[in-house]
């Protein structure tokens, strides 16, 4: 294969032969082809269209005449741009003479010549084809410069369909106006959208199917726009309907379009034999292109001018739009309007104008589509003439003209401005205010149009008073709030700088702002917003270099009006703290500069500044009130107290104090009112304590000589009236009162004293006198007792009484009980926790019955234990010496009698546990310690003896195993009894836990601490090892 010529037509023959180009055995194959055809193209594109099925109508009757079998002409366009035109015909015998066959002859027109079918479609439909293949032809077919044509005789046979006019042909085919429009609609939809196929069964004999189909195709081609001709594909005969790629229209054998055939039910089906055509596909009256074609059905050649017009207007449009039927609906209307059919415009103004705009809006379209542009301008001229005749404009029409203004404002603009002036004036004159204001909005929607229109209006005084001033007044009146008023003023001034010199505009803007501000709920915030907005106008660049927004008189007038209204209308008592602190302009020294302030206004300024400084500054001072009268000061402070009552905190204490500032001899602050205010609004007492600590560093409360007297008095009064229990809390004392400096601590001490009992106050207040008086009384008693004693010894008060030596009374030991926890290994080897209670009195030990108890540990839930097992080891306290044993029924313990007299026989069992014998020791006084031999009294007093302290044999501390005897012979009770309570499990009992048994409570200590306490008790009362018989125990 050689490279195909880009302009030459290629050929291909396909039939049944002994061999072909692609097969070496007999069968159907391409038997000859031009050298420029690619084998892949032949197989993929041409072979699917090489075929023929004889009509059932002919085969059923055994038709022998070859000419009776209709040819199947096909035309389609490949994806590569090639156009394929071909024909398949029936052959009664093949090369063997034994079976029937068919012959297909295809012409392949290259893409460079694809437009030939557009203008010369008749030559395609009247092409001539090979009737038979001869082996002499060979395998190679020549390339052609033109498609061969049938002879004139072949085309003009008598009564041939090709010789009929379009109207006569449609009549014979039973296609009336509706049927033809439906068919044309179906074909154009199939070509333009590509979703449906069109199947047509002509009501003609099978022999004439292809002949009538070709005649009808000439009418259809003449009716189709150029772009659709470039894409249209058809087959003039098929035995059965079959969807095929590239084919939009198929003519099929009569009777093959069976009703309810699901394969074709969604397609366009025209069974002309039965009269079945698609229903309601065409909306009557809304298909201008179909009407246009039908009106020219008998002069189809006249349609070619429109097709050229449409193709030119659609040039450079996207491919889809060029193929859609809707595009040709629009263009045929434009074409007819251009031909002076303006009734179409009058009936469809918006459709026409919008359609024209869609073609004129692309870049450069005004030049490339001059004919459409001329149509649009002609329509505008017609409407302008109507305005000059004082007719009312249609808003939707004016919107179209406005959109065209963007495309050609230079040439079209001045004329359109005049049109708008007439249109608005006509509307206002006719009382159509709503239309007039809609036209104003339309003008403002385009900034360039707005500038041009109002620029023209403002140059003429009469137009300005009639068209501008009423509109501006209503525009400002409709504004929602002061912010929108300023936005309107700014946008207009920025667009039309000359308005900054327009007296009416300035006055109306000031009046509107004042009116809107007066209606604001939060006047101060609204004024602040207005002033901030006006301040930012200085950033707006203006086209007119002679003046700026910031320097204009308008901005000054607006600012002064806002401030003046604020001072006249503001209700100070309704202000909130947020409103004041947000109004930053109040902090400027020139906040109200330019205003001629009168009495009330001057007071308002002073109060507003004081409030702003008070709550905007971090640490304000009383200087903020210096320009306020006493009446205004009270008013400002009242408002400040209202704001502060919900925010009592350390950071606000300085501001709170200023709320009670006064210029008085009693002090700079009303101290009582401050504390009363805090007591009333502070969330808790601790805030008040924080304030008290804070106040000691403030000059209003602390002076060089200490706390201010008035404040000191107010503090004492506060505690007495509102907080009598303040000093009872240890937590409060540590966190607050103990942190007070010396001056404040003195005041707090006085307050605390005033809250104490009368006796304590008497003792504290008269401490020195009480001490002197007590000393005098005691001294007097001593002197008197001494005199009486001397007189008695000298017998002046009677006979001398016998001297009795009475030992001093033994000190009464305070009952004391210790408890600690210990882990003990059980029989099973697991640890269990026991509580060991140590008692100093046997009676307590004996009555102790801990069958149930509760343990409360820090940061833990209280645990209760019941049915506990416990062991009591309660040993009695007795007189005598020796190791501790059980008490016998007679009341003696280890040889020491119950009455305290020593038993010598039993003395052999006494002594210390290391084996020292006490047998040889005589009876001695229990009150003596060990002395040198021979200096002890030989006879003891019958009432004296040595008390032995019972020692708990289970005590693990060595130092606690010895008895403790005081020097005068009396004994002190030390822990000698214990109760061991088993908890039955291992429990964590931290030191400090509380053990509660009934109404008794015990604190757990460490084992070492318990041993230390016992050891301390023994060391405080050492034992005489010679006479006491106590055990040192190891």
SS (H, E, C) 206-240: HHHHHHHHHHHHHHHHHHCCHHHHCCCCEEEEECC
Asked whether residue 755 falls in the same domain as residue 838, the answer is no
Average pLDDT over residues 376-401: 96
∠ CA(839), CA(842), CA(844), 5° rounding? 65
Burial of 650 (0-12, 13-18, 19+ CB in 10 A): exposed
Burial of 915 (0-12, 13-18, 19+ CB in 10 A): exposed
Residue-wise pLDDT for 668-681, tens only, equals 999 999 999 999 99
Q: What's the gap between Cα 496 and its chain centre?
A: 42
CA distance 433 to 34: 78
Q: State yes or no: pLDDT of 889 exceeds 50.
A: no
CA distance 458 to 461: 7
Asked whether residue 735 falls in the same domain as residue 823, the answer is no
Q: Which residues of 962-985 are buried (b: 16+ CB within 10 A; e: fewer)?
A: bbbbbeebbbbbbbbbbbbbbbee
Question: How many CA atoms lie less than 13 Å away from 486 in the CB half-sphere?
Answer: 25
- Of residues 305 and 150, more confidently modeled: 305
Which residues are 731's β-sheet partners? Answer: none
Q: Is residue 801 part of a domain?
A: no
Provide the pLDDT for residue 830: 79
Average pLDDT over residues 423-436: 94
DSSP 295: H
Asked whether residue 822 falls in the same domain as residue 714, the answer is no
Q: Is residue 146 part of a domain?
A: yes
Residue-wise pLDDT for 596-636, tens only, equals 888 889 999 999 999 999 999 989 999 999 989 999 999 99
The DSSP line for 669-703 is E-HHHHHHHHHHHSSSHHHHHHHHHHHTTSTTTEE
DSSP 149: B
Here the tokens at position 89 are 């015909």
Nearest CA-CA partner of 659 in 633, 681, 698, 679: 633
Residue 864's pLDDT band (cuts 50, 70, 90):
confident
Query: 852 by DSSP, 3-state: which?
Result: coil
Q: The tokens 């040819």 sit on which residue?
A: 71
Q: State yes or no: pLDDT of 772 exceeds 60.
A: yes
Q: Is residue 485 part of a domain?
A: yes
Asked whether residue 986 falls in the same domain as residue 852, the answer is yes
Q: Is residue 8 part of a domain?
A: yes
Provide the pLDDT for residue 840: 75
Provide the pLDDT for residue 886: 38
Asked whether residue 945 falls in the same domain as residue 833, the answer is yes
Asked whether residue 701 falls in the same domain as residue 565, the answer is no
DSSP 1033: -
Work out the mean pLDDT of the chain and round it to a whole number. 83
- What's the first-to-final CA gap in the chain, in angstroms? 130
Asked whether residue 954 falls in the same domain as residue 821, the answer is yes
Here the tokens at position 843 are 């009676």
- Choose the final residue of a domain: 570, 599, 621: 570
CB 217 within 8 A of CB 300: no
Asked whether residue 831 falls in the same domain as residue 962, the answer is yes
CB 122 within 8 A of CB 218: yes
Provide the pLDDT for residue 1017: 57
Asked whether residue 757 falls in the same domain as residue 831, the answer is no
Average pLDDT over residues 296-300: 91
Alpha-carbon distances, residue 852 vs 578, 863, 870, 983, 997 (angstroms): 64, 11, 10, 10, 7
Work out whether the CA dihedral 80, 85, 86, 87 comes out positive or negative.
positive
Q: Is residue 972 part of a domain?
A: yes
Q: Is residue 607 part of a domain?
A: no
- Choose the final residue of a domain: 112, 127, 152: 152
Residue 421's pLDDT band (cuts 50, 70, 90):
very high
Q: State yes or no: pLDDT of 206 exceeds 60.
A: yes
Here the tokens at position 961 are 């195993």
Q: Is residue 679 part of a domain?
A: yes
10 Å Cβ neighbour count for 815? Answer: 11
Query: Which pTM was predicted?
Result: 0.62
Q: State yes or no: pLDDT of 835 exceeds 80.
A: yes
Asked whether residue 829 falls in the same domain as residue 945, the answer is yes
Please give the share of the chain, as a percent, with pLDDT higher than 90: 56
Question: What domain range includes position 727?
Answer: 645-764
Residue 236's pLDDT band (cuts 50, 70, 90):
very high
Q: Which range, 248-252, 868-872, 1010-1014, has the best average confidence (pLDDT)?
A: 248-252
- SS3 labels along 322-353: HHCHHHHHHHHHHHHHHCCCCHHHHHCHHHHH
Phi (first) and psi of residue 306, to 5 degrees: -65, -40
Q: Is residue 231 part of a domain?
A: no
Asked whether residue 926 falls in the same domain as residue 1001, the answer is yes
Here the tokens at position 35 are 């050298």
Structural domain count, the chain: 4
- Choose the final residue of a domain: 152, 183, 212: 152
Asked whether residue 696 falls in the same domain as residue 837, the answer is no
């Amino acid at each position: 294969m050689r490279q195909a010529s880009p302009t030459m037509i290629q050929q291909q023959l396909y039939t049944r032969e002994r061999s072909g180009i692609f097969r070496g055995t007999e069968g159907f194959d391409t038997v000859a082809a031009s050298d420029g055809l690619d084998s892949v193209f032949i197989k993929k594109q041409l072979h699917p269209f090489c075929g023929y099925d004889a009509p059932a109508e002919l085969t059923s009757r055994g038709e022998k005449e070859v000419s009776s079998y209709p040819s199947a002409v096909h035309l389609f366009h490949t994806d590569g741009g090639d156009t394929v035109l071909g024909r398949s015909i029936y052959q009664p015998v093949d090369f063997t003479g034994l079976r029937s066959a068919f012959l297909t002859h295809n012409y392949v027109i290259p893409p460079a010549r694809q437009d030939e079918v557009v203008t010369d479609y008749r030559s395609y439909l009247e092409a001539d084809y090979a009737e038979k293949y001869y082996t002499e032809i060979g395998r190679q077919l020549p390339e052609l410069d033109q498609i061969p044509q049938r002879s004139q005789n072949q085309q003009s046979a008598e009564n041939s369909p090709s010789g009929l006019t379009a109207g006569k042909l449609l009549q014979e085919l039973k296609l009336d106006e509706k049927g033809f429009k439906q068919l044309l609609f179906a074909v154009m939809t199939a070509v333009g959208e590509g979703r449906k196929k069109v199947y047509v069964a002509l009501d003609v004999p099978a022999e004439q199917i292809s002949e009538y189909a070709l005649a009808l195709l000439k009418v259809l081609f003449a009716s189709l726009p150029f772009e659709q001709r470039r894409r249209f594909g058809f087959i003039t005969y098929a035995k059965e309907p079959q969807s095929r790629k590239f084919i939009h229209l198929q003519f099929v054998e009569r009777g093959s379009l069976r009703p309810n055939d699901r394969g074709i039910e969604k397609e366009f089906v025209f069974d002309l034999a039965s009269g079945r055509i698609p229903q309601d596909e065409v909306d009557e009256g809304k298909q201008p292109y179909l009407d246009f074609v039908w009106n020219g059905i008998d002069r189809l050649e006249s349609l070619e001018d429109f097709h050229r017009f449409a193709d030119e207007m659609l040039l450079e449009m996207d491919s889809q739009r060029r193929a859609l039927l809707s595009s040709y609906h629009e263009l045929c209307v434009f074409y007819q309007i251009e031909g002076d059919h303006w009734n179409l415009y009058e009936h469809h103004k918006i459709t026409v104008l919008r359609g024209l705009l869609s073609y004129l809006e692309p870049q450069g379209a005004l030049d490339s589509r001059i004919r459409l542009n001329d149509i649009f301008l002609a329509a505008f001229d017609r409407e302008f003439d109507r305005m000059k005749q004082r007719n009312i404009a249609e808003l939707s029409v004016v919107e179209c003209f406005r959109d065209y203004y963007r495309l050609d404002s230079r040439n079209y603009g001045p004329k359109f401005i005049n049109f708008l002036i007439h249109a608005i004036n006509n509307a206002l004159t006719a009382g159509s205010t709503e239309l007039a204001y809609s036209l104003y909005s339309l003008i403002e929607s385009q900034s360039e149009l707005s500038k041009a229109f109002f620029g023209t209006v403002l140059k003429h005084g009469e137009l300005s008073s009639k068209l501008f001033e009423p509109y501006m007044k209503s525009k400002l009146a409709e504004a929602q709030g002061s912010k929108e008023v300023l936005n309107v003023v700014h946008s207009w001034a920025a667009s039309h700088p000359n308005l900054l010199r327009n007296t009416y505009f300035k006055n109306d803007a000031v009046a509107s702002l004042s009116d809107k501000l007066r209606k604001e709920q939060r006047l101060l915030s609204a004024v602040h917003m207005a002033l901030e907005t006006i301040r930012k106008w200085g950033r707006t660049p203006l086209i007119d270099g002679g003046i700026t927004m910031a320097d204009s008189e308008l901005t000054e007038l607006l600012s002064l009006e806002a401030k003046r209204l604020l001072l006249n209308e503001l209700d100070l008592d309704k202000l909130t703290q947020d409103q004041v602190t947000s109004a930053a302009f109040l902090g400027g020294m020139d906040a109200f500069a330019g205003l001629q302030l009168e009495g009330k206004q001057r007071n308002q300024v002073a109060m507003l500044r004081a409030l702003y400084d008070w709550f905007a500054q971090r640490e304000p001072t009383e200087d903020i009130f210096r320009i306020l009268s006493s009446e205004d000061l009270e008013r400002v402070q009242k408002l400040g107290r209202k704001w502060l009552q919900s925010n009592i905190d350390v950071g606000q204490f300085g501001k709170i104090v200023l709320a009670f500032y006064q210029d008085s001899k009693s002090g700079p602050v009303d101290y009582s009112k401050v504390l009363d205010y805090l007591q009333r609004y502070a969330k808790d007492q601790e805030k008040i304590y924080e304030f008290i600590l804070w106040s000691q560093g403030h000059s209003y409360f602390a002076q060089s000589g200490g706390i201010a007297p008035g404040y000191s008095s107010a503090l004492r009064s506060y505690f007495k009236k509102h907080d009598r229990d303040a000093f009872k809390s240890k937590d409060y004392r540590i966190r607050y009162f103990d942190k007070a400096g010396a001056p404040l601590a003195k005041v707090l001490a006085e307050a605390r004293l005033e809250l104490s009992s009368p006796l304590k106050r008497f003792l504290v207040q008269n401490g020195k006198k009480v001490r002197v008086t007590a000393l005098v009384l005691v001294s007097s008693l001593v002197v008197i007792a001494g005199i009486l004693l001397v007189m008695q010894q000298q017998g002046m008060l009677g006979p001398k009484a016998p001297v009795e030596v009475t030992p001093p009374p033994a000190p009464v030991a305070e009952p004391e009980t210790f408890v600690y926890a210990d882990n003990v290994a059980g029989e099973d080897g697991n640890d269990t926790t026991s509580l060991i209670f140590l008692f100093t009195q046997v009676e307590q030990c004996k009555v102790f019955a801990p069958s149930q108890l509760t343990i409360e540990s820090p940061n833990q839930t209280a645990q209760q234990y019941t049915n506990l097992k416990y062991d009591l080891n309660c040993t009695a306290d007795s007189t005598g010496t020796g190791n501790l044993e059980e008490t016998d029924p007679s009341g003696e313990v280890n040889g020491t009698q119950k009455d305290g007299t020593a038993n010598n026989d039993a003395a052999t069992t006494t002594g210390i546990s290391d084996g020292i014998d006490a047998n040889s020791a005589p009876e001695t006084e229990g009150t003596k310690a060990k002395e040198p031999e021979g200096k002890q009294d030989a006879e003891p007093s019958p009432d004296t003896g040595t008390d032995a302290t019972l020692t708990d044999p289970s005590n693990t501390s060595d130092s606690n195993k010895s008895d403790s005897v005081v020097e005068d012979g009396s004994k002190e009770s030390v822990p000698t009894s214990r109760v061991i309570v088993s908890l039955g499990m291992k429990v964590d009992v931290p030191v400090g836990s509380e053990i509660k048994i009934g109404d008794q409570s015990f604190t757990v200590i460490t084992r070492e601490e318990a041993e230390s306490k016992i050891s301390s008790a023994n060391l405080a009362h050492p034992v005489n090892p010679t006479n006491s018989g106590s055990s040192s125990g190891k």
